[in-house]
Amino acid sequence: MIGASLGAAAYERASEISAILAVANPVGDRRLARLSSRPDVVLALSGIGISFGGVKALSDVDLEVEVGEIRAVIGPNGAGKSSLINIISGLYHADRGRIAIGGQSFSRVPASRLARLGVARTFQNLALFGGLSVRNNIACGRVHTRRASFVEHIAGLPRARSEDAGIAEKTDQIVAFLHLESVADRLVATLPYGLQKRVELARALVAEPKLLLLDEPMAGMTATEKAEMAGFVRAARDRHGVTIILIEHDIGVVMGLSDRVAVLDYGRKIADGTPAEVRADPAVIRAYIGTAEGENGEDI
Amino acid sequence: MAVQALDAARLPVDWAKLVQKLALATALFVVAYGVVPAYASGYLVEAILLPFLALSLAAVGLNLLTGYCGQLSLGSSAFMAVGAFGAYNFNLRVEGLPLAVTMILAGISAAGFGVVFGLPSLRLRGFYLAVSTLAAQFFVQWALTKFGWFSNDNPSGVISAPHLAVAGLSLDSATGRYLLSVTTVMVLTALVWRLVNSATGRNFIAVRDNETAARVIGVPVLRTKLLAFAISSFIIGIAGVLWAFTYLRTVEPAGFNLDRSFQILFIIIIGGLASIRGAFWVRRSSLSSRSFCPGSAHSCSAACSIRAFST
Amino acid sequence: MSYYDFLFVIEVLVGGLLSGVMYSLVAIGFVLIYKTSGVLNFAQGSMVLFAALTFVSLVERGIPFALSLLITFAVMVALGFTIERTVLRPLVNRSPMTLFMATLGLSYIIEGAAQLIWGTQVHGLDLGIDDTPFEVGGILISSFDLLAAAIAAAMVAGLSAFFYWTRIGLAFRAVADDQFAALAVGLRLPRIWGTVWTAAGFVALVAGLLWGARLGVRFSLSLIVLKALPVLVLGGFDSILGAIVGGLIIGASEKLAEVYLGPFVGGGIEGWFAYALALVVLLVRPSGLFGQKTVERV
Ligand SMILES: Nc1ncnc2c1ncn2[C@@H]1O[C@H](COP(=O)(O)OP(=O)(O)OP(=O)(O)O)[C@@H](O)[C@H]1O
Ligand SMILES: [Mg+2]
Q: Is the CB of A275 under 6 A from ligand 1?
A: no
Average pLDDT for A142-151: 94
One-letter-per-residue 3-state SS of A116-151: HHCEEECCCCCCCCCCCEHHHHHHHCCHHHCCCCHH
Picking from B7, B210, B218, the nearest residue to A143 by CB comes out as: B218
Q: Which residue has the higher pLDDT, B170 or B180?
A: B180
Band the pLDDT of C148: cuts 50, 70, 90: confident
At residue C291, the pLDDT reads: 65
Q: Which residues of A touch B205 (CB under 8 A)?
A: 129, 131-132
Lowest mean pLDDT among A48-52, A61-65, B5-9, B153-157: B5-9
Band the pLDDT of A5: cuts 50, 70, 90: very low
Q: Convert the pLDDT of each residue in A82-118 to its tens digit.
A: 999 999 999 999 999 999 998 899 999 999 999 999 9
B168 pLDDT higher than 80: no
At residue C202, the pLDDT reads: 87
CB atoms within 10 A of CB C155: 18
CA-CA distance, C277 to C235, in Å (whole number)? 12
Q: Mean pLDDT for chain C? A: 83
CA of A53 to the centre of ligand 1 (A): 12
Q: Convert the pLDDT of each residue in C188-212 to its tens digit.
A: 777 777 788 888 888 899 989 888 8
CA of C216 to the centre of ligand 2 (A): 57
Average pLDDT for A243-253: 93
C105 pLDDT higher than 50: yes
Q: Is the CB of C293 under 6 A from ligand 1?
A: no
Q: Convert the pLDDT of each residue in C91-102 to its tens digit.
A: 777 777 778 888
Q: Which residues of A touch B206 (CB under 8 A)?
A: 129, 132, 140, 143
- Tally A–C CB contacts below 8 A: 10
At residue C193, the pLDDT reads: 78
Q: Which residue has the higher pLDDT, A4 or B60?
A: B60
Interchain contact, C295 vs A92, CB within 8 Å: yes
Band the pLDDT of A204: cuts 50, 70, 90: very high
Q: Is A58 helix (H, G, I), strand (E, B) or coil?
A: strand
Interchain contact, C108 vs B298, CB within 8 Å: yes
CA distance A177 to chain C (A): 27
Average pLDDT for A38-53: 90
Picking from B127, B146, B303, the nearest residue to C105 by CB comes out as: B303
Q: What are phi and psi of B3, to 5 degrees?
A: -65, -45
For chain C positions 127-186, those within 8 Å of chain B (CB to CB) are none
Interchain contact, B135 vs C96, CB within 8 Å: no
Residues in chain C, overall count:
298
CA-CA distance, A294 to B4, in Å (whole number)? 54
Angle between helices C3-37 and C240-260 (to 10 degrees): 150
CA of A76 to the centre of ligand 1 (A): 11
CA distance A71 to chain C (A): 21
At residue B81, the pLDDT reads: 96
B92 pLDDT higher than 70: yes
> What percentage of chain C carries pLDDT values higher than 70?
94
Domains of chain B are: 45-310 (1.10.3470)
Q: Is the CB of A81 under 6 A from ligand 1?
A: yes
**Alpha carbon C127 to chain centroid distance?**
19
Those residues whose C-beta lies under 8 Å from the C-beta of residue C77, and which sit 6 or more positions away, are C198, C201, C202
Q: Is the CB of A57 under 6 A from ligand 1?
A: yes
Q: Convert the pLDDT of each residue in A151-202 to its tens digit.
A: 999 999 999 999 999 999 999 999 999 999 999 999 999 999 999 999 999 9
- Domain residue spans of chain A: 129-207
A81 pLDDT higher than 90: yes
At residue B276, the pLDDT reads: 65
CA of A79 to the centre of ligand 2 (A): 8
Q: Is the CB of A299 under 6 A from ligand 1?
A: no
For chain A positions 138-197, those within 8 Å of chain B (CB to CB) are 139-141, 143-144, 146, 148, 150, 153-154, 156, 160, 163-165, 168-169
**Alpha carbon B199 to chain centroid distance?**
21
C260 pLDDT higher than 90: no
Helices in A111-246 by DSSP H: which ranges?
134-140, 150-155, 158-177, 193-205, 223-240
C-alpha closest to that of C29 among C6, C11, C46, C14:
C46
| Cα–Cα distances in angstroms (integers) from residue A283 to residues A77, A149, A263, A289, in the given order | 17, 55, 10, 10
Q: Is the CB of A77 under 6 A from ligand 1?
A: yes
Q: What share of chain B is helix, strand, coil (3-state, %, to 5)?
A: 80, 5, 20
Q: Convert the pLDDT of each residue in A11-23 to its tens digit.
A: 444 444 433 334 4
Kindly state whether A220 is in contact with chain B, defined as any CB-CB distance less than 8 angstroms. Answer: no
Interchain contact, A128 vs B210, CB within 8 Å: yes
| Nearest-by-CA chain A residue for B227 | A150
B203 pLDDT higher than 50: yes
Q: Is the CB of A219 under 6 A from ligand 1?
A: no
For chain B positions 195-224, those within 8 Å of chain A (CB to CB) are 195, 198-200, 202-203, 205-206, 208-210, 212-221
CA-CA distance, B194 to B273, in Å (whole number)? 17
Q: Which residues of A79-97 are buried (b: 16+ CB within 10 A; e: fewer)?
A: bbbbbbbbbbbbbbebbbb
Interchain contact, A124 vs C295, CB within 8 Å: no
C138 pLDDT higher than 90: no
Interchain contact, B209 vs A128, CB within 8 Å: yes
Cβ burial of B224 (10 Å; 0-12, 13-18, 19+) is buried
Band the pLDDT of B274: cuts 50, 70, 90: low
* Pairing between β-strand C134-136 and β-strand B250-251 as defined by DSSP bridges: unpaired
Which residues pair with residue A269 across a beta bridge? A264
Those residues whose C-beta lies under 8 Å from the C-beta of residue B93, and which sit 6 or more positions away, are none
- Of the ranges B136-145, B201-210, B289-298, which is most confident? B201-210
CA-CA distance, B147 to B153, in Å (whole number)? 8
Q: Mean pLDDT for chain A? A: 86
Picking from B127, B132, B258, the nearest residue to C40 by CB comes out as: B127
- Tally A–B CB contacts below 8 A: 89
Those residues whose C-beta lies under 8 Å from the C-beta of residue C94, and which sit 6 or more positions away, are B309
At residue A108, the pLDDT reads: 93
Could you tell me the maximum CA-CA distance found in chain B, to the nearest angstrom?
69
| Cα–Cα distances in angstroms (integers) from residue A261 to residues A78, A254, A290, in the given order | 18, 8, 21
Instruction: State in Å, rounded, how far the first CA of chain C is from the last one.
Output: 55
At residue B7, the pLDDT reads: 41
At residue B124, the pLDDT reads: 84
Cβ burial of B293 (10 Å; 0-12, 13-18, 19+) is middle
Q: Which residues of A touch C298 (CB under 8 A)?
A: 82, 86, 91, 123-125, 127
Q: From the CA of A250, which ligand is nearest?
A: 1
Band the pLDDT of A40: cuts 50, 70, 90: confident
What is the Rg, in whole angstroms, of the alpha carbon atoms belonging to chain A? 21
Average pLDDT for B71-83: 94
At residue A19, the pLDDT reads: 39
Picking from B191, B208, B212, the nearest residue to A127 by CB comes out as: B212
At residue C235, the pLDDT reads: 86
Interchain contact, A129 vs B274, CB within 8 Å: no
Q: Convert the pLDDT of each residue in B15-48 to its tens digit.
A: 788 888 888 888 888 888 888 887 878 788 888 8
Lowest mean pLDDT among A3-7, A91-95, B197-201, C23-27: A3-7
Lowest mean pLDDT among B286-290, C64-68, C143-147: B286-290
Q: Are A233 and A167 in contact (CB under 8 A)?
A: no
A7 pLDDT higher than 50: no
Neighbours of ion ligand 2 (CB under 5 A): A 82, 124
Kindly state whether B194 is in contact with chain A, defined as any CB-CB distance less than 8 angstroms. Answer: yes
At residue A37, the pLDDT reads: 64
Q: Which residues of B touch A129 (CB under 8 A)?
A: 202, 205-206, 209-210, 213-214
CA-CA distance, B301 to B284, in Å (whole number)? 11
Q: Is the CB of A82 under 6 A from ligand 1?
A: yes
For ligand 1, atom 18, the nearest C-alpha belongs to A80
Average pLDDT for C70-91: 86
Interior CA angle at B15 toward B11 and B19, to 5°?
Answer: 140
Lowest mean pLDDT among A84-98, B3-17, C214-228: B3-17
CA distance A84 to chain C (A): 11
The pTM assigned to this predicted structure is: 0.86
CA distance B149 to chain C (A): 13
- Domain residue spans of chain C: 17-225
At residue B129, the pLDDT reads: 87
Average pLDDT for C216-240: 85
Q: Convert the pLDDT of each residue in B219-257 to its tens digit.
A: 999 999 999 999 999 999 999 999 999 998 888 888 898
Instruction: State in Å, rounded, how far the first CA of chain A is from the last one.
Output: 28
